Structure 1
Amino acid sequence: MTSMRILTVGTDGSHESMSAADWAAREALRRGLPLRLLHADCGERPAPPPHDVDLPGRGVLDRAALRLSYLYPSLEIIARRRPAPAVAALLAAAAESETLVLGSRGFTGYSGFLVGSVALAVTASAERPVVLVRAGGLPEDERARAGGAFLPVVVGLDVTGPSDEILSYAFEAAALRGTELHALHAWTLPPLRADASGVTVAPGDAARRETLRRRALEGALQVWRAKYPEVRVVERLLYGQPGHHLLKASTAAGLTVIGRDIDADRLGRTAHSVVHHVTSPVAIVPHT
């Protein structure tokens, strides 16, 4: 997997894509990267070219680039149009980028995302991190108060599986914002079972299981604490379903980070719940 030193945002002129572009512009500035605005358009061309091309009639891109250049004059902006189906174009762009940013519509009267089929397909298959940004998100939503400190970054971890790619992204995001990282792991006891005689058997020592999970969480964080000593880490070991706890934590987060198995062809149950319902931008980080 290779990537360019660039951040890409998909844009189609919609309100949600402009919110995503605005968030992506601020993130590109934080990371010191150029921002590529990408518009996918099949048009009537028989086959897409192998690389980005400049084409006439780029009204959507021009309007987005003009707005962002006015708001963020120091940002390097590259506007590109790819004559290809949206999912294919965005997946190709994700493979070339450090991060791909997409927009999602907020539910009316309900805090959360309405994630379209294109965004879901890209998020479930991208080789690089994908960030979903809710329509209507404002720069001040990232901070505890106007001009104040950034809200914490929340990362959801499964300590029984790989976590380095997820923690790398989460620690860097927290360091760039100068904010806390809340590392959350939720666990549950296995269900009760019956032995051969039909007698219900307890699932084991809950206190011991909790201790083992806590040690695993501390171990997963140890290397990254040393690499990012400036980041204050809050460990949160919680009993219950991870999706439920991540949704609660996201209400006070500036960014929520979760993982996705890169070999899976779809989002898992927890990731699916998070991308649809959290109130903060969500970064979905593929891991091996």
Structure 2
Amino acid sequence: MVQPVVVGINGTAESLTATDWAAEEALRRDLPLTLVHAWDPQRLANVTLAMAPDAQQTVAARLVRDTEERVGARHPGVRVTGELVTGPEVAGLAERSEGAALLVLGSRALSPVLGFLVGSLGLKVLRRTRCPVVLVRGRDQEGGTAGGDIVVGVQDAGEAAAPVLSFAFEAAAARGVAVRAVRAWSLPTVFTFRPSTIRRADEHGGLEALERQTLEDTLAPWRERYPRVPVVPVLDFGSASEVLLSAASDAQLLVVGSRGRPGGGRHIGAVGHAVLHFAEVPVALVTDNT
């Protein structure tokens, strides 16, 4: 079964930017595109000046149809279908993400200081899904990042990094650009100190050298699997979120990992929250296989 690229739409400028991004990604991957708009008749039921349910449904259906036509006009060749889902947006998007290759959501820019508004709805959708999710900023199309690298955070080592590296290398191969693999390191604290780590660091010539070797060892099988994708390892001292945000300033996509929950969904984590709110480029959140 072919897995589609799914994008949530609601008629806003941010939604349209996300739709354009999703359409281009569907073309690159030769996948169908599914537009999903959730119409919740209960949401406005108690609002004094709300339209009647039939009128609301008509407007919602028109939004889906107009967006589908817009995609057809702007992105010829995309196999696009629109779906009007009845019920809460979070549940509707989470359900449609099951079996999807990718879920794309829009986000609104606030200011250079405050960052971007992911919103409670976006965070709820992220927490309930397991497929890769890309958050696209409302101004990404004007950001001049189309020719940038794919930046990926490599905080896990070995096989644990496979899901996030697989996504990043596939994205880079499809675009014909390099992967910039970024790993942050810091001195161990009293809570993270391990004698075995210090012994290994001494064998490699210090903690920084050990971290660099760990990064190279993790990337080695991916270099072999994607020999035509240039790889730029980046090791920097500092917090993971700060290092990633700095490295991704001119990227066309930032890829970070998240932890899966045993009962479904994902745990975003502190680094994920930081890049989702403050990165100025599209962010892909990829869940591990746990």
Does the TM-score normalized on the shorter chain lie above 0.5? yes
**Alignment partners' CA distance in 1, 2:260 and 2:122:** 16
Q: Give the 3-state SS of the residue equivalent to 2:267 in structure 1.
A: coil
Give the conservation status (yes or no) of the 8 Å contact 1:19–1:133.
yes
User: In 2 relative to 1, CA 248–122 (structure 1 residues): closer, same or farther, beyond 3 Å?
Assistant: same
| Matched residue, 2:218 | 220
| Matched residue, 1:121 | 124
**Alignment partners' CA distance in 2, 1:109 and 1:247:** 13
**Alignment partners' CA distance in 2, 1:159 and 1:96:** 26
User: In 2 relative to 1, CA 281–111 (structure 1 residues): closer, same or farther, beyond 3 Å?
Assistant: farther
| Matched residue, 2:277 | 276
| Matched residue, 1:80 | 83
| Matched residue, 1:251 | 249
Give the conservation status (yes or no) of the 8 Å contact 1:112–1:134.
no
- Deviations for 1:27-55, whole angstroms, at most 9, x for unmatched residues? 1111111110000112259xxxxxxxxx8
User: In 2 relative to 1, CA 67–100 (structure 1 residues): closer, same or farther, beyond 3 Å?
Assistant: same
Residue correspondences, number: 263
Q: Give the 3-state SS of the residue equivalent to 2:206 in structure 1.
A: helix
Q: Give the 3-state SS of the residue equivalent to 2:144 in structure 1.
A: helix
Give the conservation status (yes or no) of the 8 Å contact 1:159–1:213.
no
- Deviations for 1:45-86, whole angstroms, at most 9, x for unmatched residues? 9xxxxxxxxx86511111211111111121111101111211
Q: Which of 67, 70, 74 lines up with 1:64 in the alignment?
A: 67
The reply to whether residue 159 of structure 1 matches residue 156 of structure 2 is yes
Give the conservation status (yes or no) of the 8 Å contact 1:111–1:278.
no
Q: Which of 231, 234, 255 lines up with 1:233 in the alignment?
A: 231
Deviation at 1:166, TM superposition (A): 0.5
**Alignment partners' CA distance in 2, 1:119 and 1:212:** 38
What 5-or-longer segments of structure 2 have no aligned partner? 44-56, 192-196
Higher fraction of helix:
2
The reply to whether residue 183 of structure 1 matches residue 186 of structure 2 is no
Give the conservation status (yes or no) of the 8 Å contact 2:2–2:31.
no
Deviation at 1:216, TM superposition (A): 1.6
**Alignment partners' CA distance in 2, 1:125 and 1:268:** 14
Q: Give the 3-state SS of the residue equivalent to 1:229 in structure 2.
A: coil
Superposition CA RMSD, Å: 2.3
- Deviations for 1:83-115, whole angstroms, at most 9, x for unmatched residues? 121111111111121000000001135484210
Deviation at 1:265, TM superposition (A): 4.7
Deviation at 1:137, TM superposition (A): 2.2
| Matched residue, 1:197 | none
**Alignment partners' CA distance in 1, 2:156 and 2:119:** 30
Report the TM-score, using the length of structure 1 for normalisation.
0.85
Deviation at 1:210, TM superposition (A): 2.0
Taking only the aligned residue pairs, the percentage that are identical comes to 37
**Alignment partners' CA distance in 1, 2:278 and 2:209:** 31
Deviation at 1:211, TM superposition (A): 2.2
**Alignment partners' CA distance in 2, 1:240 and 1:273:** 14
Give the conservation status (yes or no) of the 8 Å contact 1:113–1:277.
yes
**Alignment partners' CA distance in 1, 2:65 and 2:187:** 54
What 5-or-longer segments of structure 1 have no aligned partner? 46-54, 144-149, 194-202
Give the conservation status (yes or no) of the 8 Å contact 2:260–2:267.
no
**Alignment partners' CA distance in 1, 2:105 and 2:245:** 20
| Matched residue, 2:20 | 22
The reply to whether residue 137 of structure 1 matches residue 140 of structure 2 is yes
The reply to whether residue 105 of structure 1 matches residue 103 of structure 2 is no
Give the conservation status (yes or no) of the 8 Å contact 1:156–1:246.
yes
**Alignment partners' CA distance in 1, 2:218 and 2:176:** 21
| 1:261-272 superposed matches below 5 A | 261-263=259-261, 265-272=266-273
**Alignment partners' CA distance in 2, 1:176 and 1:218:** 23
